[in-house]
A and B are shown apart, each in its own frame.
Chain A
């Protein structure tokens, strides 16, 4: 997928200012930045939730799916898990239900959960359901917007592992948005650093983390807290 000159304007405020990047097949690209950098706006623009200018090539209509930050808000409380997962599936009847069960298994959930309501699931399980729902539409690209920042550390690891597994098994392309450089470094192949609506640095993980070129990237890396 290729994005060229993507801009988003909220009234007079230019939230995203001519952003261009590519996500190759089976590639996980990280988009990092602080609050207000425009990274989440990029996500919303890519899936068509906010109007944008610029071109997006290499994806079918509806070929970009999204997983949201808050696993408690992103599932309809009155819809069973199975139906929620089946919403994006382009099949009918029994094949649809079977596909939903297959998707649940793919994200490491018991197919028996299909009959449950979201409130009966833990945060980590819900985030898996959200991933399964996105996969149901057979997307060319999944945009993951801060999908682990609402989860506890011990659960976060499992979701990150799942994202890597899905890439390995399905050749999934992911735009992985996060404020956490350590998480992005662990999951992604390439990193884009965003600030005030622009991409200020991009490169492979080794380049960006190992030898950052931009002052802002250096400052970000410097500030990452770590266990001695």
Chain B
């Protein structure tokens, strides 16, 4: 509704409908009146848009023709819907063996331009309004069938439809209860858009003389008659042309943009990120490879990362742990300087003694390595693996192509990819998930990395592969002395690789502790996380520890301690937010003994 095209489309649709109802009543007589004094004239005082060869007023004829035009378009659409929608719904209902020929038929028909199908129909039925409606209706059917089919197929493959099948719900019932309600809205909107296309298609046929025949007239026919005069009296054709353009685009725009708006998700509320930033925090420690100070990331008024500060020493292996929505991945992106628009990053990120922004592209490209979650998506599917590594060297290190390639193969070998020379020449889809993640890590080794930021690097991998990738990260840290920040939802994964753990909750760091001390954590949230995670020694006879409630989303973070509503040791003072003091942000930290 918010978009301009949708609104414009709706206004045009309503105007067209009103005109179709009122047009013939109001202007019908004027349109038929023959004015022998003004035959074949252009714009004049008596006839604003001129007259036709019988001296009839073109403006009145245009307005009066609205009903027939819309009626024919409606009929053609009806035909298209009656033929197309059931055809498209058929594959979803039929068993797969019977569904295949149906979808093949739809694909075959869709490959033909609609106008060609309409001509085919027109040849059979002969030129005339009936032929045009049948032709356009036939042409609309495959398009509507395809829309219905695609929508029904995507809904038909959904788990809830599978679940219904498992429950023994009958096919017709699944169609009525599960599939139709979920596709009705987009299908209706495409029918609306199709009505617009049909109106334009009918106008095209009438313009060519294949549609409405004399005595009757629609907008297309009026244009057909006026076309020979376009050089002398262009205004004669302007009326019907404008009417067709406005009505046709109106329906099409309304249908299409409403369908698109329905599919789109809401955008974040506008506003400024609001965080009460404490001012002045001690001087920068010199030994840190990375210093994050009061990092805050906001999207409009929503602030998913709030006032995060920590240091990472040279060669340190630290983990950033949190559940989904805690702001950990956004923190990683901010460190990489990759927060997407319209995100706003406040605070300081100091890499190797200088603010991130003060580094040149070349320095950052070689000193900072990033690894993302999905190894299937991290490599460009269209380019060879080797050249994606080599381009780092050619872009930042002035290496020749041959040199860069040699280095790429060498780095692939260093991450223990078998036959690195062969792998370098392959495309990503020829590599397994584990190999791709290795290749991404190798990409970081093309320069001289000082910091590796790995965002859930093993989440998409199997356990055995995960272990090898974690070992590789440890090896890289050992060999190059690069510090690493491992972002993960999995406490056990972080504990396997890292010596230090930062725990994030609702956008803030709530605890900073050595990995070895996780079982002696002081923050109630960290303790709950550790206790709720079953491992190979958990006592099976007692229920797992659970945390009631859920993490507040970034819009609803309370002013005090965000964990207090779920916390067993919460008290009155938790309404004031605790600062991170000696590794824990809690008014009532757990004490040993």
Contacts and interface: CB of A to CB of B under 8 A. Distances in A.
* Physical contact A–B (CB less than 8 Å): yes
A137 interface: yes
A155 B550 contact: yes
A223 B536 contact: no
Contact of A65 (B166, B544, B545, B546): B166
B166 A47 contact: yes
B438 to A, nearest CB: 16
B233 interface: no
Contacts of B470: 225
A220 interface: yes
Given A68-B163, A158-B546, A182-B535, A227 B528 contact: no
A130 B26 CA distance: 60
Given A160-B534, A224-B536, A227-B530, A88 B167 contact: yes
A79 B178 contact: yes
Nearest to A73: B159
Contact of A66 (B166, B516, B536): B166
A35 interface: yes
A133 B163 contact: yes
Interface string B517-557: 01100000000111011111010100111110011000000
Interface in A106-142: 122, 124, 130, 133-134, 136-137
B160 A74 contact: yes
A99 B300 CA distance: 45
A144 to B, nearest CB: 13
B495 A227 contact: yes
Given A65-B166, A79-B178, A87-B167, A182 B467 contact: no
A186 B465 CA distance: 23
B492 interface: yes
Contacts of B493: 225
Interface string A154-176: 11111011001000000000000
B160 A181 contact: no
Interface in B178-233: 178, 181-182
A80 B550 CA distance: 22
B466 A223 contact: yes
Contact of B536 (A35, A136, A185): A185
Query: Which residue, B168, B323, B463, B491, has most C-beta atoms of chain A within 10 A?
Result: B463
A225 B492 contact: yes
A186 B540 contact: yes
A179 B534 contact: no
Contacts of B530: 227
B324 interface: yes
B544 A226 contact: no
A48 interface: yes
Contacts of A62: 166-168
A68 B159 contact: yes
A220 to B, nearest CB: 6
B105 interface: no
B94 interface: no
Contacts of A136: 167
Contacts of B491: 153, 227
Given A73-B158, A228-B519, A153 B168 contact: no
Contact of B492 (A152, A156, A227): A227
B243 interface: no
Contact of A160 (B166, B463, B516, B544): B544
B489 interface: yes
Contacts of B346: none
B162 A68 contact: yes
B182 A87 contact: no
Contacts of B166: 47-49, 62, 64-66
Contact of A182 (B462, B466, B536): B536
Contact of B168 (A137, A152, A185): A137
B177 interface: yes
Nearest to A33: B462
A188 to B, nearest CB: 9
A225 B467 contact: yes
B464 A154 contact: no
A143 to B, nearest CB: 9
B164 interface: yes
Contact of B532 (A130, A133, A154): A154
Interface in A26-55: 34-35, 47-49
Contact of A219 (B464, B516, B519): B464
A34 B434 CA distance: 13
Nearest to B534: A186
Interface string B152-170: 0000001111111111110
A87 B164 contact: yes
A56 interface: no
A130 B167 CA distance: 12
A12 interface: no
Interface in B128-165: 158-165
Contacts of A227: 491-492, 495, 518-519, 530, 533, 535
B400 interface: no
A226 B496 contact: yes
Given A134-B167, A157-B543, 17 more contacts: A35-B462, A48-B165, A49-B165, A62-B166, A76-B178, A133-B163, A133-B167, A155-B550, A157-B532, A157-B534, A157-B545, A164-B543, A182-B534, A182-B536, A225-B470, A225-B492, A225-B495
Interface of B: 158-169, 177-178, 181-182, 323-324, 462-467, 470, 489-493, 495-496, 515-516, 518-519, 528-530, 532-536, 538, 540, 543-547, 550-551
8 contacts: A49-B162, A49-B165, A124-B550, A130-B163, A157-B532, A157-B534, A219-B464, A225-B463
